[in-house]
């Protein structure tokens, strides 16, 4: 029998702590084949065991590691790095570092999680300052991976290509897309559009030195259309695009709610159409797509939303398991190696260049 996949959980992170984390384990096991998956839960043992009892989970599935130290949701990253050692968040990541666990999940403080993950695991993608965050964006054709949505402001061409490599491997591992197509987010599709960084990344990706299924430039409205499987952009633009889309979705949902409660006749219509409207709402439910991996680290770390439900946390666990059991890390490593090789021209080529100058 293959050794089990061990997932390390920060049981104290998030707005609701162990109730959602343990509830998330239960949700995961109810929806997926849990064969060969075990969990390491870091945090207050009594609180965790109480939730395990409520969810009828035993030590056969959950291994509890007590600590009473917790990183607060509002703690500054620098402070969390200095004082966080031994906390549930720290220990969850450390289990990945030592190789005991295959992946970690935390719904804790994002800044602290980034900082501690980077400190303990180190970056594997040398161009990145911080781990990149990928969003699974619902589209007419399924899910598109969009990255970076928040961590790296002002990305150069090398960073953008690192995002492309990691996003492609993520999409294939988590959403099961065999040869994901990759697009670079820009303001038009012609080669001369956009700023230097996107044009340079575009030129390198088109060359074909890195084996990606590169589509070319895409525009903002291509994201929801599902034109490509992976959309690559810098963290500034990606964060603004994601929050703008969330704001737009909330605005339209609000208008719809307002319209369907605007009078007795509208309410009657809404009541009759309710099952169909509920199925529609499920398509864009944030809990169905919860779980953003921090990409670019030497190890798998998945961030759950702090306010996620057990269903949402269960989905973050699924993403961690899928990444851990796939060839994600190997594929990213191989392609980052190809990128590094592209940057160091072979000695022969250099000599040739000198001769001609």
Taking the least distance from each CB to a second copy, the nearer of 268 and 341 is 268
131 makes contact with a second copy (CB under 8 A)? no
- 72 touches a second copy by CB under 8 A: no
Nearest to 339 by CA among 132, 166, 175, 102: 166
The site string for a second copy over 140-159 (x = CB under 8 A, - otherwise) reads x---------x--xx-----
- Which residue of 31, 54, 179, 195 would you call a contact of a second copy, by CB under 8 A? 195
CB of 235 to a second copy, least distance (A): 7
Indicate whether 337 belongs to the interface with a second copy (CB under 8 A): no
Span from 38-46, 213-221, 306-314, 316-324 in contact with a second copy (CB under 8 A): 213-221
Q: Is residue 191 close enough to count as binding a second copy by CB under 8 A?
A: no
Of 139, 213, 298, 326, the one binding a second copy by CB under 8 A? 139
Backbone dihedral angles phi then psi of residue 214, each to the nearest 5 degrees: -85, 125
Per CB under 8 A, which region of 44-52, 117-125, 253-261, 308-316 contacts a second copy?
253-261
From CA 93, how far away is CA 108, in angstroms rounded? 12
Query: In this chain, which stretch among 87-95, 259-267, 302-310, 317-325 interacts with a second copy, using CB under 8 A?
Result: 259-267
**246 is a contact residue toward a second copy (CB under 8 A):** yes
Binding positions for a second copy, 283-322, rule CB under 8 A = 283-284
Which span sits near a second copy by CB under 8 A: 59-67, 94-102, 162-170, 245-253? 245-253
CB closer to a second copy out of 50 and 236: 236
From the list 5-13, 53-61, 252-260, 343-351, the region that binds a second copy by CB under 8 A is 252-260
Quote the least distance from Cβ 321 to a second copy, whole Å: 29
Other C-beta atoms closer than 10 Å to the C-beta of 129 total 15
Q: Is 61 left (phi over 0), alpha (psi -120 to 50) or beta?
A: alpha
Choose, by CB under 8 A, the member of 280, 330, 340, 341 that binds a second copy.
Answer: 280
* Least separation in angstroms between CB 344 and a second copy: 29
240 scored as a contact of a second copy (CB under 8 A)? yes
- What are the residues binding a second copy (CB under 8 A)? 138-140, 150, 153-154, 185, 187, 194-195, 219-225, 233, 235-237, 239-256, 258-260, 262-263, 265-266, 268-277, 279-280, 283-284
């Amino acid at each position: 029998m293959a050794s089990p996949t061990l997932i390390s959980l920060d049981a104290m992170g998030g707005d609701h702590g162990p109730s959602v984390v343990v509830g998330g384990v239960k949700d995961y096991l109810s929806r997926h084949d849990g064969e060969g998956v075990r969990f390491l839960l870091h945090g207050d043992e009594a609180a965790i065991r109480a939730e395990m009892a409520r969810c009828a989970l035993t030590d056969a599935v959950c291994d509890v590691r007590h600590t009473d130290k917790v990183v607060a949701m509002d703690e500054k990253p620098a402070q969390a790095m200095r004082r966080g050692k031994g906390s549930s968040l720290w220990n969850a990541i450390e289990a990945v570092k030592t190789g005991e666990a295959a992946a970690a999940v935390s719904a804790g403080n994002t800044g602290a999680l980034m900082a501690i993950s980077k400190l303990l695991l180190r970056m594997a993608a040398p161009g990145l300052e911080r781990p990149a965050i990928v969003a699974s964006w619902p589209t007419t054709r399924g899910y598109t991976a969009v990255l970076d949505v928040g961590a790296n402001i002002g990305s150069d061409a090398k960073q953008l290509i690192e995002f492309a490599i990691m996003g492609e491997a993520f999409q294939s591992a988590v959403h099961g897309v065999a040869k994901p197509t990759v697009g670079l987010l820009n303001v038009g599709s012609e080669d001369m559009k956009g700023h230097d960084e996107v044009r340079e990344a575009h030129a390198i990706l088109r060359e074909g030195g890195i084996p990606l299924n590169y589509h070319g430039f895409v525009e903002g409205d291509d994201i929801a259309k599902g034109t490509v499987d992976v959309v690559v952009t810098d963290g500034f633009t990606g964060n603004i695009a994601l929050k703008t889309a969330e704001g737009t979705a909330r605005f339209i949902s609000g208008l719809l709610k307002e319209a369907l409660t605007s009078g007795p006749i509208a309410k009657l219509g809404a009541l009759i159409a309710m099952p169909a409207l509920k199925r529609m709402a499920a398509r864009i439910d944030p809990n169905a797509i919860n779980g953003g991996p921090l990409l670019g680290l030497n190890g798998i770390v998945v961030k759950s939303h702090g306010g996620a439900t057990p269903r949402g946390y269960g989905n973050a666990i699924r993403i961690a398991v899928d990444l851990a059991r796939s060839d994600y890390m190997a594929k990213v490593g191989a392609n980052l190696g190809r990128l590094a090789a592209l940057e160091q021209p072979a000695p022969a080529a250099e000599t040739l260049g000198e001769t001609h100058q």
